[in-house]
Chain A
């Protein structure tokens, strides 16, 4: 006869237990931590950014390593640098395609940058002891402040500093993190005195929505990566950067101590073969031809006789 009451008690009990478990779950440290990898010790974990071009390079690294007899665990599309860098530093990821200048700026806010080689040397010094960078590639995928052809010719824009010629309000568009980056809208204001009207988040990492917003005139200035095939197809103008606001961003694998000499040799061969034009072409195969990263990687590695 007490079924109803007992049922209710059970319910209250269940809710209470649930709440306690939930709270305990929150209390025991980092709920966003990655579950510990079940892979064996010999497995090399390759990571990539949530950026299609970075994923292609990560896939190239993975297939090259697999061809060399290594077992690879792919952890692709892990957000932006702020998200994955701690995992690399903790040794949870063994190989990650990175960009010399951007990584340097993330590791050392006071970095000076300079030429491609100087940036690379500075990066080697800035890395924590358990990490190292292998050879850098000639290919670079650099941040750039990009405008449309029309705006560039109207105000005769060539380099970033010439943006002061622009009389209409400049709205900047890009990923959220751009707003706080050292080369972001604040730097444009403070360093060059460029009048920035506002910042609009377009969360696709300089992808099609950003390009469309730029072409439509919803934004006037966007951060598009220089290896982006869109620059050519939409006649955009990447403003030159004589003052080194952006650091040179050559592609370089960041590796943990688990990457031994034979694995390092494989990755160095890949970097030696990767030229700037090839990178634009790889990106174009993904962006314009809609090929998947693994197909693009296989085709390129075969073409370069690396597998």
Chain B
């Protein structure tokens, strides 16, 4: 119980909210670093994912490579890069980009793959160019899954960005490392609470975006309940109550 009180006391101590090592500064650093990492990772992963999704080629290779990326321990990679480029933010930046690429890449190409081939064929039949198919059909329809990929990448990056403090006076990880070293568990848990809150807020934002980006044509065009050929109908859903509600679809 005393840890709760220590954590609360640490979080409420006004001295921890001011200055270069204060919570607002570190929170802003952490958030900014997370966002920049995600943007760079997205710039790398999304075009590759789109090409794979659109052409259907190279999927096996992408799965293998991103699987291998996922298996890399981030702290190990960070140390390795730091031994090469030195301390500071470059090494954690590289390590976190490597962490963020696989989920974004997977989101980008599975978004395209999940689209019914009939829709793509129809788009081609009405005379759309490949670029038009990509931008007007595949991109909007694949967007929810891409945002899903970004969402899971964000969660991983915001939590792992604490490692930046291993070799830099930066971000919320400072509280974790310092608290651990000097046995100030209030500080350590307080820092963790802040990371968790930041993760929850970002998660909420992405959940909202993910809902908003579902194209209107998709939500409006949902069949009432009769999804022919759906093999996933659950017997427990067959009650009258469930039927009455069934036009509200959960994707």
Contacts and interface: CB of A to CB of B under 8 A. Distances in A.
Given A177-B182, A198-B169, A199-B169, A31 B3 contact: yes
Interface in B1-41: 1, 3-4
Interface string A197-215: 0111111100011001100
Nearest to B174: A201
A22 interface: no
Contacts of A212: 82-83, 86-87
B193 interface: no
A54 to B, nearest CB: 15
A203 B239 contact: no
Chain B CB within 10 A, most for which of A1, A4, A204? A4
Nearest to A210: B87
B178 A201 contact: yes
Interface stretch (A13-21, A79-87, A280-288): A79-87
Contacts, number: 78
B169 to A, nearest CB: 5
B57 interface: no
A289 to B, nearest CB: 18
Given A1-B239, A4-B236, A213 B86 contact: yes
Contacts of B79: 204, 209
Given A26-B1, A201-B169, A4 B237 contact: yes
B71 to A, nearest CB: 23
A202 B83 CA distance: 12
Contacts of B180: 79, 83, 176
Interface string B180-220: 11110100000000000000000000000000000000000
B168 A4 contact: no
Contacts of B121: none
Interface residues of B, number: 26
Contacts of A80: 181
B185 A176 contact: no
Contacts of A83: 180, 183
B140 interface: no
A198 B183 CA distance: 22
Interface string A173-208: 101110110000000000000000011111110001
Given A7-B236, A31-B3, A201-B168, A177 B87 contact: no
Given A7-B236, A209-B82, A202 B181 contact: no
A142 B1 CA distance: 38
A42 B169 CA distance: 46
Given A176-B178, A202-B166, 18 more contacts: A4-B237, A7-B236, A26-B1, A27-B1, A32-B185, A82-B183, A83-B180, A175-B181, A176-B174, A177-B182, A179-B178, A200-B167, A201-B168, A202-B167, A203-B166, A203-B177, A209-B79, A209-B87
Interface of A: 1, 3-4, 7, 26-27, 29-32, 79-80, 82-83, 173, 175-177, 179-180, 198-204, 208-209, 212-213, 216, 218-219
20 contacts: A4-B239, A26-B1, A26-B3, A29-B1, A79-B180, A79-B181, A176-B182, A201-B166, A201-B177, A201-B178, A203-B166, A203-B181, A204-B79, A209-B82, A209-B83, A209-B87, A209-B167, A212-B83, A216-B87, A218-B86
